[in-house]
Amino acid sequence: MKKALLIAAAILMFAGSLNAAPASAYIGVYGDIDHTVCTLSPPQYAPFHAYIMVLPSMRGMQAAEFALLLPGTIIQSGAVKNADITVELGSLSAGISVAFGSCHTDWTILYDLTLIALATVPGSIGIGPDPTVPILAVASCEQGYPLESVIFHQPLNVYQGCTIGVQSSTWGAIKNLF
């Protein structure tokens, strides 16, 4: 009986560590809400969706600061913000700061974008820092909401294959992304 309890406790501890949030926050642009589609080839002049998403660090996310980077052949025709965004300062293309009404601790869609491709040439939809802030940043859920840098995880490529992000990290940190 004692042995069975110890095994059960070990399994629960291991399972909990598999779902642990990463040490750093990640932001990316994806072609689906499951953050798995990294390339699209939409018909020219037809609207398509892209999603700006953040995986918060283990400290959570209360706000984010970033800018949307579009190639010259793609225009934004609409954007639906996360319903929990309570403050929105700036614009997506010029740099924006958003704040949430609650702390977010898992993958979070910031915006559902409607985009239109004006030409079928390769390009990437990315995220960069808000020009008023020198880094990609989120405010954590810790007291005082301190800013922490965010790692740009994934662009959404159009008319070309996926880009695989490479950075120095441990295998454990990479596994924690998923």
The pLDDT-based confidence of 174 (bands split at 50, 70, 90) is low
The DSSP secondary structure of 14-41, one letter per residue, reads HHHHHTPPPSSEEEEEESSTTS---EE-
- Report DSSP letters for 109-136, one per residue: EEEEEEEEESS---EEEEEE--TTSSS-
Both tokens of residue 45? 């002049």
Residue 13 lies in a domain: no
129-141 pLDDT, tens digit per residue, is 988 888 899 999 9
> 140-153: b or e for each residue (b if 16 or more CB lie within 10 Å)?
bbeeebeebebbbb
Residue 7, in any domain of the structure = no
In a domain, 106, yes or no: yes
List, as one string, the DSSP characters of 140-168.
-SSTT--EEEEEEEE-EEESSPPPPP---
* Domain membership flag for residue 1: no
What are the start-end ranges of the H helices in 50-91? none
Residue 61 within a domain:
yes
3-state secondary structure of 72: coil
pLDDT range class, residue 12, cuts 50, 70, 90: very low
- Asked whether residue 114 is domain-assigned, the answer is yes
14 within a domain of the structure (yes/no): no
pLDDT at 129: 93
pLDDT of 151 > 80? The answer is: yes
Number of domains comprising the chain: 1
How high is the mean pLDDT of the chain? 86
What confidence tens digit (pLDDT) does each residue in 106-127 have? 999 999 999 999 999 999 999 9
- In DSSP terms, 109 is beta-bridged to 53
Residue of 5 and 67 predicted with greater confidence:
67
pTM for this predicted structure: 0.81
Give the domain extent around 45. Answer: 20-175
Whether 171 shows a pLDDT value over 90: the answer reads no
Please give the structure tokens belonging to residue 10: 């070990």
Q: What is the CATH number of the domain that holds 74?
A: 2.60.40.680
For the segment 30-54, what is each residue's pLDDT rounded down to a tens digit?
999 999 999 999 999 999 999 999 9
For residue 4, is pLDDT > 50? Answer: no
Please report whether residue 129 resides in a domain. Answer: yes
pLDDT in tens, 79-110: 999 999 999 999 999 999 999 999 999 999 99
